[in-house]
Amino acid sequence: MDDTTRTSGPDGRGRQSRRGVLRAAVAGAGSAAMVGAGADAAVAGERPRGGAVTFVLVHGAGSNSYGWSALLGELGLRGHRAVAVDLPGHGPGAYFPVSYQAPQDPEALRTEPSPLSKVTLADFAAHVTAVVRRAHRNGPVVLVGQSMGGVTLNAVANAVPELIAHLVYASAFCPTKRATMLELMSTPEAASSAIALIPAVRTAPELGVTRVNWRSGAPDLFRAAKEVLGADLPDEEVRALLNILEPDESAAIAGSDARGLPQSWGRVPRTFLRFTADRAIPPALQDLMIRDADELTPDNRFRVRSLAASHIGPRDPAVFADELERVARLCRG
């Protein structure tokens, strides 16, 4: 299924456990950079035509802008402007529980509060919207999201569709007919997801976060992370990935209504990078989201590109950069 031949297309234990494994599997970002941005009061104008594109990259759950470093470097060497956002509670603003540090206290890790419990999808959207406003002053903006970053793309495009030239979902959640990530993960198309393999810390629901102990050193965690996030990676790359992931994610995000609205989000041209070896968001679920979106806005359908990649994206950042350059040419056309 791609832009030349396309069709229109875990079982956790209890509510909190299901959210925990969802958060864990969508933790990896794809591949490019390290810049966040604050608020900006620029007045929204119409979408610029022509000129150099700025790529704004949004990471997935439990990740940060560093996960995009390889792609950012590749885009920079090709002469492109790109910025990767640290969502609220991530990157320099991440929270690492005291009980997560060495030596670890596994029992305290189950109960230690986290400021991420107060972070909402609206916070994510407001932060990225501010970045998009600043970037938009320089020309067209291509907003790229990987994994859980897709729900932020939906929220930002609902708010400021006129500031976005193109949306790119890199094996990312895109709720439309189904309102939330949890609803999408409850569909038959998600049944083959390996998300449930990742052991989440059994925190109480009232803690308001999903938590994964990426530093546990347990063989079952390592095996599960490799299976879910990057089965094609050598062990040393998986270990490096685990060392940049963050333990906490707001439990509210997975259950937040993140539907793309046809009158706003539905006006923005969009591409879905379909990762055929993704074991967290399996191809069948990716296809369901594409089909649902296309049925909602039949006059503005997904442009679909299929890549042989696992959940964290192509190992070679040039493959990802090639796809973004194709999108940039569409924006300049």
**What pLDDT is recorded for position 99?**
97
Residue 157 per-residue DSSP state: H
Q: Which residues does 224 contact at the CB level (< 8 Å), separation at least 6?
A: 194, 197, 198, 199
CB 10 within 8 A of CB 193: yes
The band of 247, judged by pLDDT with boundaries at 50, 70 and 90, is very high
DSSP 7-64: ------SHHHHHHHHHHHHT----S----------PPP-PPP-SS--EEEEE--TT--
Cα–Cα distance between 101 and 190 in angstroms, integer? 34
**What pLDDT is recorded for position 50?**
52
**What pLDDT is recorded for position 146?**
98
> What is the rounded (10 degree) CA torsion for 85, 244, 149, 164?
30
| For residues 278-300, average pLDDT | 98
**What pLDDT is recorded for position 245?**
97
Of 50-54, 107-111, 249-253, where does mean pLDDT reach its minimum? 50-54
**What pLDDT is recorded for position 217?**
85
**What pLDDT is recorded for position 106?**
94
| For residues 290-304, average pLDDT | 98
Average pLDDT over the chain reads 88
**What pLDDT is recorded for position 2?**
54
Q: Which residues does 252 contact at the CB level (< 8 Å), separation at least 6?
A: 119, 120, 121, 208
Tell me: pLDDT of 1 over 50: no
Tell me: pLDDT of 48 over 60: no
Tell me: pLDDT of 251 over 80: yes
| For residues 289-317, average pLDDT | 97
**What pLDDT is recorded for position 15?**
37
Tell me: pLDDT of 307 over 90: yes
The band of 19, judged by pLDDT with boundaries at 50, 70 and 90, is very low
**What pLDDT is recorded for position 5?**
32
Higher pLDDT, 316 or 18: 316
Tell me: pLDDT of 51 over 80: no
Tell me: pLDDT of 116 over 80: yes
| For residues 152-171, average pLDDT | 98
Q: Which residues does 204 contact at the CB level (< 8 Å), separation at least 6?
A: 16, 110, 111
Of 8-12, 61-65, 242-246, where does mean pLDDT reach its minimum? 8-12
**What pLDDT is recorded for position 44?**
37
Tell me: pLDDT of 6 over 80: no
Residue among 103, 96, 139 at smallest CA distance from 243: 96
Tell me: pLDDT of 54 over 60: yes
Cα–Cα distance between 260 and 179 in angstroms, integer? 9
Cα–Cα distance between 212 and 202 in angstroms, integer? 9
List C-alpha distances in Å: 68 to 6, 21, 123, 274, 311: 28, 22, 21, 18, 13
Q: What is the pLDDT of residues 171-228, one digit of tens each?
A: 999 999 999 999 999 999 999 999 989 999 999 999 999 999 999 988 999 999 999 9
Of 22-26, 45-49, 247-251, 279-283, where does mean pLDDT reach its minimum? 22-26
* Cis bond before residue 103 (omega within 30° of 0): yes
DSSP 184-245: HHTSGGGTT--GGGS------GGG-EEE--TT---HHHHHHHHHHH-TTS-HHHHHHHHTT-
Tell me: pLDDT of 126 over 80: yes
The band of 32, judged by pLDDT with boundaries at 50, 70 and 90, is very low
| For residues 218-247, average pLDDT | 94
The band of 40, judged by pLDDT with boundaries at 50, 70 and 90, is very low
